[in-house]
Amino acid sequence: MITERGRLGWQRDVQDGRRSLAEVAMLRYKHLIDRSLRAQTLPAQKIEAAIGRKVMNVTTSLGMPVTRKVA
């Protein structure tokens, strides 16, 4: 498929960009929060992941600059 359509055409067809974004999001989560969940049950793991997601969103938003239109 790469030889037929080229690398960019292949990435577009298999949505490689979405996969890459998902991998980067998981890498960011694992670096900021932890590599594993500590909760034992699935409902508790879901809550733990949701809390981790909120913490990650707050942490990344603090580093984002506030832009204002000057003219």
**CA-CA-CA-CA dihedral for 33, 37, 38, 42, to nearest 10:** 140
- pLDDT above 70 covers a percentage of the chain that reads 100
22-37 pLDDT per residue, tens: 888 888 888 888 888 8
Whether the model pTM is above 0.75: no
pLDDT tops 80 at residue 71: no
Residue appearing with tokens 């409902």: 43
pLDDT tops 90 at residue 47: yes
